[in-house]
């Protein structure tokens, strides 16, 4: 039971509420109604919560909540369906693109997206991902790349930077032993089935704006073009990078982009247009 001193005195509320007349203010920002109003489990400074919100903003802006089905991965974002107020399926580790194939092939009129981390997509799920893109499956892959396994607390991922310290590469990733980080976006852009491939980051206000634009494009392209859209997002992971949120944001600009340069890698071409 809270003691008396922990209870907010009524006067504190009085100070805030009477002066706050909503009509006197212009609402310039609100959380999208397509988000479930609950607390998230993500760490402070984590990119997931932000990207969840961006996707749901796009769903709200495009008014496609009724037509959107998401696939949650295994990883930190395994609970994505607790936060996104849309129909979703939880996939086994790495299998999101196969699950999405099953959904989209049967409901081609819906908007379908997978949300996958680097371990899920680039390690255990690389086969399902590559073949889905090669078939030109008409869905969006949101690929969260933070260069570590977040959920299992910071092991080396296929995207871990050369020399980067993780719990399973305590002396830094040795590329002579484990190979170089996989550049998923560049790899998949080579496949004719990929129609739109871009890499963005959410460590700055501009980056957030560009990422939202990329996601918006990718959702729209799903209806306009044949093929798969891939939006890779360099995600901050302060907890597993052993950094403060501010340090993590700087780490992206100073280190991550050297291996994973930001920007569009492949844009839709006129011959990718759907013929109806």
Applying CB under 8 A, which of residues 120, 128, 197, 256 lies at the interface with another protein?
128
Nearer to another protein, 114 or 217 (CB): 114
Q: What's the rounded Cα separation, in Å, for the pair 76 and 47?
A: 11
31 touches another protein (CB under 8 A): no
Applying CB under 8 A, which of residues 40, 43, 60, 85 lies at the interface with another protein?
85
User: Cα separations (Å) of 15 from 10, 11, 23, 120, 138?
Assistant: 9, 6, 18, 49, 53
Min dist CB 173 to another protein, Å, is: 27
Nearer to another protein, 82 or 253 (CB): 82
Nearer to another protein, 68 or 272 (CB): 68
81 touches another protein (CB under 8 A): yes
151 touches another protein (CB under 8 A): no
Q: What's the rounded Cα separation, in Å, for the pair 18 and 190?
A: 60
Please count the other Cβ atoms lying within 10 Å of the Cβ belonging to residue 152.
14
Which of these segments, 47-55, 67-75, 146-154, 161-169, binds another protein (CB under 8 A)?
67-75
71 touches another protein (CB under 8 A): yes
Min dist CB 107 to another protein, Å, is: 6
DSSP H or E segment with residue 217: helix 205-224
Which residues have C-beta within 8 Å of that of residue 47, sequence separation ≥ 6? 144, 146, 202, 203, 233, 234, 235, 236, 237
218 touches another protein (CB under 8 A): no
Which residues have C-beta within 8 Å of that of residue 147, sequence separation ≥ 6? 118, 157, 159, 160, 161, 164, 181, 237, 256
77 touches another protein (CB under 8 A): no
Applying CB under 8 A, which of residues 90, 247, 253, 264 lies at the interface with another protein?
90
Please count the other Cβ atoms lying within 10 Å of the Cβ belonging to residue 203.
23
168 touches another protein (CB under 8 A): no
88 touches another protein (CB under 8 A): yes
Contacts 24+ apart (CB under 8 A), 91-94: 93/119, 93/120, 93/124, 93/125, 94/120, 94/121, 94/123, 94/124, 94/125, 94/126, 94/128
60 touches another protein (CB under 8 A): no
107 touches another protein (CB under 8 A): yes
Applying CB under 8 A, the residues found at the interface with another protein are: 36, 65-69, 71-72, 78-79, 81, 84-92, 95, 98-103, 105-107, 110, 127-128, 131
């Amino acid at each position: 039971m809270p003691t008396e001193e922990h209870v907010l005195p009524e006067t504190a509320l009085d100070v805030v509420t009477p002066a706050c007349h909503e009509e006197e203010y212009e609402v310039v920002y609100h959380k999208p109604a397509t988000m479930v109003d609950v607390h998230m489990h993500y760490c402070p400074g984590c990119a997931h919560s932000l990207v969840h919100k961006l996707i749901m903003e796009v769903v709200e802006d495009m008014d496609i909540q009724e037509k959107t089905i998401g696939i949650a991965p295994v990883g930190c974002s395994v609970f994505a369906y607790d936060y996104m107020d849309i129909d979703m399926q939880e996939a086994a580790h790495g299998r999101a693109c196969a699950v999405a194939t099953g959904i989209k092939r049967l409901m081609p009129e819906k908007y379908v997206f997978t949300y996958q981390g680097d371990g899920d997509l680039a390690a255990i799920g690389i086969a399902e991902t590559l073949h889905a893109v090669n078939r030109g499956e008409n869905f969006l892959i949101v690929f969260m790349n933070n260069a570590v396994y977040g959920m299992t607390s910071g092991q080396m991922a296929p995207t871990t930077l050369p020399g980067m310290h993780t719990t399973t590469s305590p002396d830094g990733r040795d590329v002579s032993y484990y190979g170089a980080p996989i550049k998923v976006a560049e790899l998949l852009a080579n496949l004719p089935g990929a129609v739109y491939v871009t890499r963005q980051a959410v460590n700055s206000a501009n980056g957030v704006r560009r990422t939202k634009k990329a996601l918006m494009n990718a959702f729209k392209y799903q209806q306009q073009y044949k093929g798969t859209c891939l939006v890779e997002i360099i995600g901050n992971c302060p907890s597993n990078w052993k950094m403060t949120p501010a340090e993590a944001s700087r780490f992206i600009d100073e280190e991550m982009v050297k291996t994973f340069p930001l920007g569009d890698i492949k844009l839709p071409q006129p011959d990718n247009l759907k013929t109806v």
